[in-house]
Amino acid sequence: MAVELVAAHPARKLVAAAYGNGQIVIAQPGARDELALKIAGPTPTTLVWSSDGKMLAIADSGAVSLVTLPDALFKS
5-31 per-position pLDDT tens digit: 999 999 999 999 999 899 999 999 988
| pTM of the full structure | 0.86
Would the pLDDT of 64 be above 80?
yes
List the chain domain ranges. 3-68
Give the largest Cα separation in the chain, rounded: 35
∠ CA 71-37-41, nearest 5°, is 155
pLDDT value of position 75: 60
Going by C-alpha positions, the residue among 9, 6, 10, 12 that lies closest to residue 24 is 6
**pLDDT band (50, 70, 90) for residue 1:** confident
pLDDT value of position 59: 94
